[in-house]
Amino acid sequence: MRLRIPLLAALSMLAMPLFPVVAAHADGERFALIIGNAKYPDNETPLKEPINDARDVADELKRDGFEVEVGENLRSDAMRRALDKFYGRITPGSTALIFFSGFGIQSARQSYILPVDAQIWTEADVRRDGFSLETILSEINSRGAGVKIALLDASRRNPFERRFRSFSAGLAPVIAPSGTLVMYSAALSSVVSDSGAERSLFVGELLKEIRVPDLTAEETLNRTRVGVTRASRSEQVPWISSSLAEDFAFVAGAKVAKVAKVNPKIDPKPVIPSVVPEVKPVAQPPAATESVKPVAAITQPEPAKPTEIRPIEAKPVEVKPTETSVASLAHEPTVAALNAKIAANPKDINSLYRRGQVYASKGAYSAAIKDFDETLKLNPKDVEALNNRCWTRTVVGELSGALKDCNEALRLRPRFVDALDSRGLLYLKAGKAKDAIADFDAALHINPRLTSSLYGRGLAKQRSGATAAGERDVTNAKAMDPNIAKEFAGYGVN
């Protein structure tokens, strides 16, 4: 079991009397590595925010006494070289700061930042191609840095996760060494849709607060969190973790007073805690005055037994999804590369499966099903292919065939959360609300942050007559992923 991470004490505690003004952390050497990754080939278009944000943060930190290195659109090798150079500059007692804007993914309860050439198709690929934040902080700590700061604007919906999981997992809590301050642009396990703006709300608020004189770094980040929360109307609530043992200010030479301040009030919402805590399931959802978003109220009943299944008759989908033509995807780099591999070896099972995933994610459902068919001819016990074909068949309304696929996947792997989630969607589309609730319950028992199961369960509860309970699930799911309703509408479920 992992140790709990140190948390930043809530600044809304009882106000303390002012202590004498003391100098911030001694003005030793300050080093910063700034990375903005925007041009990911697997994303439909380049991200607009990371490059501008990286340049703005770099300019500000230079003014604040940091020696800054900036990397833009770094491939894996370049990113590794940049990190190695950064590690090599750190001296004992110095301050080391890393800022990253781009795509991030969590895997096995660790957060990974991604180079632009990441090739991610499975969970294992995340750990192969991504760079672990915990590893980066550990390396910085081993070089003797006194203050370690990580600022990540990477809680974005990304094009990779759909290939191997049915939800966007956001970032995970970090197990950091003592003397570390970490901030994510969004809450744990939450994602923020790309705004399409030239600069991010998170960085805009961060730079505004860094320029406020006489603040500790913790106060700067806490004010940033409050500013982002207010500006986004609580749709985006950054996460902070701190184990700093001394006062530190971003501006070199600043004098800061040790004072416990009460957070500025956000109307009509209550004061925001300094840390969005790691989610623990509770029996009932918190009252509206206890947190910005009621995202922790996810009940966890005992998982449904996968063997207790009942056949269903296919029913028409509520909305028929639009099919993307295979021809329109032929020139995409990933599809073209997979086409070449399959042409050279028609029994290349990995390429067939991966092309099926790409087709499914792009809406070429019929082509995806054919690729999963071929994959399963080569390996009938491929549970991932079974689940993917179940999900794709469900989306297009082939519910009887989809049920067989999900049942077989769960027979082979009884606690396969993705198959439980897929079968829950299937039952929801078939009008079997109670069966859908049972599968979504089972999936949430395994992964309480599975947004698709939470939202699906909410819809199923509403259809079964449990309107209030269903609305709570739907509200919680939307708080975790504002685009979840649009996603389900694309599946033919409203």
Summarize pLDDT for 118-146 with one digit per residue, the tens: 988 887 888 889 999 999 999 999 999 99
CA-nearest of 275, 267, 263 to 181 is 275
468 token code pair: 């209030």
**Amino acid present at 366:** S
* Residue 314 located in a structural domain: no
Of 17-31, 242-256, 447-461, which has the strongest mean pLDDT? 447-461
CATH code of the domain containing 374: 1.25.40.10
* Residue 296 located in a structural domain: no
Same domain for 207 and 341: no
Same domain for 197 and 100: yes
| Residue 256, pLDDT above cutoff 60 | no
Q: Which residues of 81-111 are buried (b: 16+ CB within 10 A; e: fewer)?
A: ebbeebbeebeeebbbbbbbbbbbbbbeebb
* Residue 226 located in a structural domain: yes
* Residue 288 located in a structural domain: no
**Amino acid present at 48:** K
Among 257, 279, 310, the domain boundary falls at: 257
Among 234, 257, 280, the domain boundary falls at: 257
* Residue 229 located in a structural domain: yes
Q: At what angle do helices 201-210 and 49-63 cross, to 10 degrees?
A: 10
How would you classify the pairing of strands 131-132 and 110-113?
Answer: antiparallel
pLDDT in tens, 334-370: 788 889 989 999 998 888 987 888 888 788 899 999 9
Q: In the chain, how many domains are there?
A: 2
Residue 448 region by backbone torsions, left for phi larger than 0, else alpha for psi between -120 and 50, else beta: alpha
| Residue 211, pLDDT above cutoff 80 | yes
386 token code pair: 């079974």
Q: Which residues of 188-204 are buried (b: 16+ CB within 10 A; e: fewer)?
A: bbbbbebeeeebbbbbb
CA-nearest of 83, 137, 89, 127 to 105 is 127
115 token code pair: 């180079």
Expressed as residue numbers, the domain containing 45 is: 21-257
Name, in order, each residue with C-beta under 8 angstroms of 172's C-beta and a sequence gap of 6 or more.
106, 109, 110, 111, 188, 189
Percent of the chain scored above 70 by pLDDT? 79
β-bridge mates for residue 21, sequence order: 257
pLDDT tier, 298 (very low <50, low <70, confident <90, very high otherwise): very low
pLDDT tier, 484 (very low <50, low <70, confident <90, very high otherwise): confident
Q: Cα 136 to chain center, whole Å? A: 19
pLDDT tier, 315 (very low <50, low <70, confident <90, very high otherwise): very low
**Amino acid present at 412:** L
Same domain for 467 and 365: yes
pLDDT tier, 157 (very low <50, low <70, confident <90, very high otherwise): confident
Mean per-residue pLDDT for 150-163? 86
Bigger pLDDT: 460 vs 157: 460
Q: How many alpha carbons fall within 13 Å on the CB side of residue 25?
A: 26
Residue 30 region by backbone torsions, left for phi larger than 0, else alpha for psi between -120 and 50, else beta: beta
Same domain for 337 and 208: no
Same domain for 240 and 359: no
Distance CA 105, CA 200 (A): 19
3-state secondary structure of 35: strand
Same domain for 341 and 247: no
3-state secondary structure of 475: helix
Which CA distances in Å does 206 have to 87, 194, 225? 25, 18, 8
* Residue 344 located in a structural domain: yes
**DSSP summary character for residue 346:** T
Mean per-residue pLDDT for 284-307? 38
* Residue 431 located in a structural domain: yes
**Neighbouring C-beta atoms of residue 173, cutoff 10 Å:** 25
Same domain for 334 and 248: no
Same domain for 227 and 102: yes
Among 219, 236, 257, the domain boundary falls at: 257
Same domain for 341 and 251: no
Bigger pLDDT: 145 vs 196: 145
How would you classify the pairing of strands 30-36 and 95-101?
Answer: parallel
pTM beyond cutoff 0.85: no
Q: Cα 6 to chain center, whole Å? A: 21
Average of per-residue pLDDT values in the chain = 80
Distance CA 112, CA 132 (A): 4
Same domain for 248 and 100: yes
Percent of the chain scored above 90 by pLDDT? 48
pLDDT in tens, 366-379: 999 999 999 999 99
Question: Which residue is it, tokens 């004189």?
Answer: 213
CATH code of the domain containing 64: 3.40.50.1460
* Residue 400 located in a structural domain: yes
380 token code pair: 């009938």
| Residue 16, pLDDT above cutoff 60 | no
pLDDT tier, 167 (very low <50, low <70, confident <90, very high otherwise): low
